[in-house]
């Protein structure tokens, strides 16, 4: 495959081009009415709404605000989540499929309202969301989806007219008047508003453990703790995942994006294809009038990449170059999101019997609306208010349907395979085989070791066993990280937790193979 020049390290356009306020880590025991764990779009939306209603709120963030998937999204704000509605009618019924649409369409309207009422400068632009089909089979999927739209009275347009895409397509299905924005500008504006209303934020403050009782205690590092009447777990993958067995019900999916500088392209909508591999396309307006096209896709289960992760970027960069007048690929990044067994996120009480701990997860790459909806829903639940979407999103929702059970078995069989696979392999490489800026599993004596040699030739050695449930981690060459193929935890090359569910770092190893 022809290679395209990418920046040396991945970084998100959204995070690089917007500076955020920074907050001190928690350094003493505290108490609050509501504690929110995780400051992505879900947690920050909930924090702002609760504070607006006069509730006392603290937010802790394990890393930096919007440094999770919210800072690495493609940021289409739409209720068109691929061809989902036909599927939802099959798995549930028309009533539930309609509620799902309404919840997400309402979330889009709420984003627009907040942007207007708070004068948020976040490059919000109205756009139609369009699914395109390139094959006869794809057309059949679109027709079934259009039928579902009509049943649910979703304003839409099925068309074989040529869209503003630079390649031939068979047909398109548009959901009208959706939107796109700059997610980090949006979230950081909500943080500022929440602060004005009295919310306190602490970054680099990871929740390690939760203890339930009349008051809930969240344990942090260094024997610190925060007590709260209610806790909202918006940490993407719930850090308290044993409660409610979320690790058996969530599938971590990673995917890639490139942001290419282009000139004079005409792209009036946000696009996604119906076939595989996924191609998600939108424009981005740079701060000085530059124009970018953002192309996403090439997903796979976290830690289960079949090629070097750089290749996924190259494929997307080549796609952009093939179809657009690309001047340069200025940004590239990857991120992950979690799918539930039945495609509907889990938002609400974590599990039966624990009334004051709530969770929001499983947005399946549609968290701009689902995360916003979660913020509103959690704010209502916390205040004992009714919400029309409570039952639909309830994590404790009723019996597994046949399709969910199949997904459950498939997902957990895959985890079981990953738990065992590799455990008895003996890699043939040694530390001496490593080139600069290369990582791999090597043997040091009798110890399997994750080794990375940095640009300056310094070695970083870790025990390659995920601290969540003991799966072997795999090297991700472009992110320079160790990724767990079971539940999606990721660690830096020094072993630091990058994303959960793991909360403990990988153990470091010395050159003689001992753990440090």
Ligand X SMILES: Cc1cc2nc3c(=O)[nH]c(=O)nc-3n(C[C@H](O)[C@H](O)[C@H](O)COP(=O)(O)OP(=O)(O)OC[C@H]3O[C@@H](n4cnc5c(N)ncnc54)[C@H](O)[C@@H]3O)c2cc1C
Where does this chain touch ligand X (CB under 6 A) — which range of 72-80, 147-155, 286-294, 455-463? 72-80
Task: Give the range of 71-79, 224-232, 479-487, 488-496 binding ligand X by CB under 6 A.
Answer: 71-79
Q: Which residue has the CB atom at the shortest distance from ligand X?
A: 367
Residue from 75, 107, 320, 415 in contact with ligand X (CB under 6 A): 75
Q: Is 301 in the site for ligand X (CB under 6 A)?
A: no
475 part of the interface to ligand X, by CB under 6 A: no
Residues 408-415: contacts with CB under 8 Å, at least 24 apart: 408/248, 408/249, 408/341, 411/248, 411/249, 411/251, 411/341, 412/248, 414/301, 415/247, 415/471, 415/486, 415/487
Residue 500 in contact with ligand X, rule: CB under 6 A: yes
Applying CB under 6 A, does 348 fall inside the site for ligand X? no
The reply to whether 336 sits near ligand X by the rule CB under 6 A is: yes
Among 366, 452, 482, 493, binds ligand X (CB under 6 A): 366
Cβ atoms of 62 and 235 closer than 8 Å: yes
For residues 368 and 442, which CB has a smaller minimum distance to ligand X in the complex?
A: 368
The answer to whether residue 35 forms part of the interface with ligand X (CB under 6 A) is no
ω into 501 cis (within 30 of 0): yes
Distant-in-sequence contacts of 322-326, Cβ < 8 A, 24+ apart: 323/165, 323/166, 323/167, 324/166, 324/260, 324/262, 324/265, 324/293, 325/262, 325/263, 325/264, 325/265, 326/260, 326/261, 326/262, 326/293
**Contacting range for ligand X; rule: CB under 6 A; set: 54-62, 94-102, 164-172, 188-196:** 54-62
Q: Which one among 73, 449, 467, 481 touches ligand X, defined by CB under 6 A?
A: 73
10 touches ligand X by CB under 6 A: no
Q: Is residue 362 close enough to count as binding ligand X by CB under 6 A?
A: no
Decide: is 124 part of the binding site for ligand X (CB under 6 A).
Answer: no
Spatial contact of 324 and 4, defined as CB atoms under 8 Å apart: no
Q: Does 39 bind ligand X (CB under 6 A)?
A: yes
Q: How far is the CB of 513 from ligand X (least distance, A)?
A: 30
Answer yes or no whether residue 379 interacts with ligand X by CB under 6 A.
no
User: Residue 197: which of 21, 52, 409, 29 has the closest Cα?
Assistant: 52
Could you tell me the smallest distance in angstroms from the CB atom of residue 280 to ligand X?
Answer: 7
CB 89 within 8 A of CB 309: no
Residue 37, interface with ligand X (CB under 6 A)? yes
309 sits near ligand X (criterion: CB under 6 A): no
Q: Does 373 bind ligand X (CB under 6 A)?
A: no
- Tell me which of 13, 23, 35, 38 binds ligand X, using CB under 6 A: 38
Judged by CB under 6 A, how many residues of this single chain contact ligand X?
40
CA angle 509, 513, 515 (to 5 degrees): 40
60 binds ligand X (CB under 6 A): yes
Q: How far is the CB of 389 from ligand X (least distance, A)?
A: 16
CA distance 447 to 48: 49
Q: Which of residues 195-224 bind ligand X (CB under 6 A)?
A: 206-207
Question: Who contacts 14 (Cβ-Cβ below 8 Å, separation ≥6)?
Answer: 66, 71, 72, 73, 75, 182, 183, 184, 185
Q: What is the dihedral of CA 429, 430, 435, 440, to 10 degrees?
A: 60
Can you tell me the distance from the alpha carbon of 254 to that of 484, in angstroms, rounded to the nearest whole number? 11
Closest to 12 (Cα-Cα) out of 20, 21, 24: 20
Query: In the complex, which residues of this chain contact ligand X (CB under 6 A)?
Result: 37-43, 60-63, 67-70, 73-76, 206-207, 234-236, 239, 255, 257, 296, 335-337, 363, 365-369, 371, 500, 503
């Amino acid at each position: 495959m022809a290679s395209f020049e990418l920046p040396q390290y991945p970084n998100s356009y959204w995070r690089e081009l917007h500076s955020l306020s920074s907050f001190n880590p928690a350094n003493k025991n505290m108490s609050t009415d509501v504690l929110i764990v995780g400051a992505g779009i879900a947690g920050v939306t909930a924090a702002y709404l609760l504070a607006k209603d006069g509730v006392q709120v603290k937010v802790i963030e394990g890393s930096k605000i919007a440094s999770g998937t919210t800072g690495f999204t493609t940021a289409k704000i739409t209720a068109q989540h691929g061809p989902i509605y036909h599927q939802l009618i099959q798995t549930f019924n028309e009533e539930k499929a309609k509620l799902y649409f309404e919840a997400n369409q309402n979330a889009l309207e709420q984003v627009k309202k907040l942007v207007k009422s708070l004068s948020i400068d976040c490059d919000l632009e109205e756009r139609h969301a369009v699914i395109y089909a390139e094959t006869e089979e794809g057309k059949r999927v679109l027709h079934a989806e259009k039928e579902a739209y009509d049943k649910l009275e979703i304003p839409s347009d099925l068309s074989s007219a040529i869209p503003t895409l630079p390649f031939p397509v068979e047909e398109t299905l548009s959901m009208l008047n959706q939107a796109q924005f700059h997610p980090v500008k949006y979230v950081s504006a909500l943080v500022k508003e929440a602060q004005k209303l009295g919310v306190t934020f602490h970054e680099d403050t990871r929740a390690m453990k939760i203890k339930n009782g009349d008051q809930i205690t969240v344990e942090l590092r260094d024997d610190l703790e925060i007590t709260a009447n209610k806790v909202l777990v918006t940490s993407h993958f719930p850090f308290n995942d044993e409660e409610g067995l979320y690790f058996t019900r969530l599938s971590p999916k990673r995917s890639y994006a490139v942001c290419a500088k282009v000139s004079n392209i005409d792209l009036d909508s946000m696009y996604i294809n119906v076939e595989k591999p996924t191609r998600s396309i939108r424009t981005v307006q740079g701060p000085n009038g530059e124009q970018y096209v953002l192309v996403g896709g090439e997903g796979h289960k976290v830690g289960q990449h079949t090629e070097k992760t750089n290749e996924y970027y190259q494929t997307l960069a080549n796609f952009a170059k093939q179809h657009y007048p690309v001047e340069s690929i200025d940004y590239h990044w990857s991120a992950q999101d979690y799918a539930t067994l039945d495609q509907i996120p889990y938002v609400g009480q974590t599990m039966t019997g624990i009334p004051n701990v709530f969770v929001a997860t499983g947005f399946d790459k549609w968290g701009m609306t689902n995360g916003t909806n979660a913020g509103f829903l959690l704010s209502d639940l916390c205040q004992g208010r009714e919400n029309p979407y409570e039952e639909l999103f309830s994590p404790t929702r009723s019996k597994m349907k046949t399709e969910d059970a199949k997904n459950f078995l498939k997902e957990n069989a895959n985890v079981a395979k990953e738990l065992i696979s590799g455990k008895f392999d003996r890699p043939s490489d040694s530390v001496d085989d490593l080139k600069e800026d290369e990582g791999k599993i090597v043997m040091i004596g009798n110890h399997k070791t994750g080794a990375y040699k940095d640009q300056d030739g310094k070695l970083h050695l870790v025990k390659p066993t995920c601290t969540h449930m003991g799966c072997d981690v795999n090297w991700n060459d472009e992110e320079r990280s160790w990724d767990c193929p079971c539940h999606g935890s990721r660690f830096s090359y020094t072993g630091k937790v990058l994303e959960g569910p793991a909360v403990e770092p990988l153990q470091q190893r010395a050159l003689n193979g001992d753990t440090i």
